Amino acid sequence: MAEPAFKRVVVKISGEALSGSEPFGIDQPIVERYAADLVSASEMGVRLGVVVGGGNILRGAHLSGENLSRPTADSMGMLATVMNALVLEAAIERAGTPARTMSALAMPQVCETFERARALRHLEERRIVIFAGGTGNPYFTTDTTAVLRAAEMGCEAVLKATNVDGVYSADPKKDPTATRYEQLTHEEAIRSDLKVMDATAFALARENRMPIIVFAIHEANAITAVLSGAGRSTLVGSRN
């Protein structure tokens, strides 16, 4: 297997990706496949953090309204990410690699509370760390969480898993003329209002010179392919 392009990364997996072809819930075979891919990446010598969304269970921003405040709805969304993290943690451990869920929301009976020093120790001991609970604050997406945790963990890149093989000028499922970018700067991604990540995440990545690799996760071994330089993807930022 090729030498990995990065030695320490955070992989961002959306909650919707865990539901497979279903509109809601958790598709266990899909989770097992992602877990196997993460374990293979770990076996390449890559230190791995994972941030998982909660959209397959609940999206706080969509739930908020007249009868429910945005902070309350976002807190509910953060709880959904913890549920997804626990499912993924169990699958990773069944696949043969130790994993730890660390939540920004304290719930010690369920999982560890996020502490930077402890998370770094887990990575050094070759555990896959799953960061749950978002940032612990409302109004911030799990995309922003992924960039934040990557910066805190001294990662070299964020691998953003999506349903398409990179960043396009428009939605390729709706616009057949959409073109795929091989590389963009963070500033270009913000200025073009590309929807693959929110502007706050891009701005934080720009400030920390954190490259974001956007790739499709639906293929088997997609994560290891990107790390090996074999998968199709779009680089936002610079590898330097």
Domain-wise residue ranges, the chain: 8-155+218-231
How far is it, in rounded angstroms, from Cα 208 to Cα 203?
A: 9
Grouping H, G, I as helix, E, B as strand and the rest as coil, residue 12 is: strand
The residues near 68 (Cβ < 8 Å, ≥ 6 apart) are none
pTM of the model: 0.93
- Beta carbons of 12 and 212 less than 8 angstroms apart: no
How far is it, in rounded angstroms, from Cα 98 to Cα 127?
A: 5
φ/ψ of residue 213, rounded to 5: -105, 115
Name the pLDDT band for 120 (thresholds 50, 70, 90): very high
pLDDT at 15 over 60: yes
Question: Which DSSP category does 174 fall into?
Answer: T
Q: Given this model, what pLDDT does residue 192 score?
A: 87
Question: Over the stretch 184-210, which tens digit does the pLDDT of each residue have?
Answer: 999 999 998 887 889 999 999 999 999
Q: Given this model, what pLDDT does residue 60 score?
A: 57
* pLDDT, mean of residues 105-123: 97
Fold observed for domain 8-155+218-231: Carbamate kinase (3.40.1160)
Q: Given this model, what pLDDT does residue 125 score?
A: 97
* pLDDT, mean of residues 3-21: 93
Question: Over the stretch 83-107, which tens digit does the pLDDT of each residue have?
Answer: 999 999 999 999 999 999 999 999 9
